[in-house]
Amino acid sequence: MIALDFFCGAGGLTRGLLNAGIEVVAGFDCEEDFRNTYENNNPETRFIHSDIKKLSLCDLAENIKLSFQDVLFAGCAPCQAFSKRSMSRKYGQDAGLLSEFGRLVEEALPGYVLMENVPGIAENRGQGVFQRFLRMLRKNDYLYACDTLDAKHYGVPQKRKRLVLLASKRKKPSLPKPKYGEELRPPVTVRETISHFPAIAAGESSSEVPNHIAASLTELNLERLKHTPLDGGDRRSWPEHLVLSCHKDNYQGHTDAYGRMFWDRPAPTITGRCNSLSNGRYGHPEQDRAISIREAAAIQSFPDDYVFFGSTRKSITTQVGNAVPVKMAESIGEEILRLCGS
């Protein structure tokens, strides 16, 4: 089977599908800054810098030699506006991206369709655009399976819930069954994933490990982290003079911010701000710093030799945080191949 990866980003979905045995012939993204990461790590696949609104069937046909009936269209549109964490005003833009992916599906009618997004797209603000996408599939005689999956059930050392939809014109699909969890193998932990990386301080980088870079900390935040207990501690242990004004008067909310990860649990959801202490439980379990970009990539289940490039550090952390976890993508790819062969 061959596939086209829309909104390919740094290539997490592409790498997972390739690992499963699916030939991804091209990845499309509107961010040219992602090209070096994608192409250097997936040399068998073309990166095509393009706005999905401008893509046509002729553009897609240039990249495949088979009928669209034998192709997987994979589309994991940017989803910040649908996230429960988000206060974004980009709803219209993000909704439009899913609609454009639906347009290409309806024009090409590929044999298989894969969509991944945050669960919020099926709720509240995102429900309208998602329901339109489902109606388009039904109108064109697609059968589909759709559910919320947690990446930790597929070997990813991270609690990351995502809505996954798999559609086929040939038979009713199913989604991959969990491989880790109750009565299965224990979930992969932070310790298993990042403990082998060399120690570095806040603001330092490793000369031996690519992307092993830790963000700098102010003296005040460094002092706060030194007062945060190792292995899962949080701001509730700080002395009064270190407490943020918004957390005073016995405020109990948002205890993850400035917190440390637990060694022997999966990590919290990695985002594009995963190297910042103030944006979640992104403190290293025992070193006085936030996790490095390399550690975040490992928690996203990228292999250690998957090197990220970008014009800014923000671009690189965005690539890491927005990626589909590789091992989750691989499990989905294996299920697609099982569907094809059955």
- Residue 336 covered by a domain: yes
Range of the domain at 140: 2-182+322-341
| CA atoms of 334 and 125, how far apart (whole Å) | 32
Contact indicator for 294, 212 with CB cutoff of 8 Å: yes
CB 73 within 8 A of CB 108: yes
pLDDT at 84: 53
Does residue 45 belong to any structural domain of this protein?
yes
* Torsion angle in degrees (nearest 10) through CA of 201, 207, 210, 215: 30
Looking at residue 87, its pLDDT comes to 46
Q: Is residue 226 part of a domain?
A: no
pTM for this entry: 0.94
Could you tell me if residue 229 is inside a domain?
no
| Cα maximum dimension of the chain | 66
Task: With respect to residue 236, please indicate whether it lies within any of the assigned structural domains.
Answer: no
Residue 194: what pLDDT? 98
Over the chain (342 residues), the average pLDDT of each successive run of 10 is: 96 98 96 98 96 92 82 86 50 73 96 95 78 96 98 98 96 96 96 98 98 97 97 94 83 84 98 94 98 98 98 97 98 96 74
Predicted pLDDT at 124: 62
pLDDT of residue 63: 76
Predicted pLDDT at 125: 60
Question: Which residues are known to be catalytic?
Answer: 79
pLDDT in tens, 288-318: 999 999 999 999 999 999 999 999 999 999 9
Give the chain's domain count.
1
Strand ranges for 154-197 from DSSP E: 161-168
User: What CATH number does the domain containing 10 carry?
Assistant: 3.40.50.150
Instruction: Sort strands 161-168 and 143-150 into parallel, antiparallel or unpaired.
Output: antiparallel
Query: Does residue 234 belong to any structural domain of this protein?
Result: no
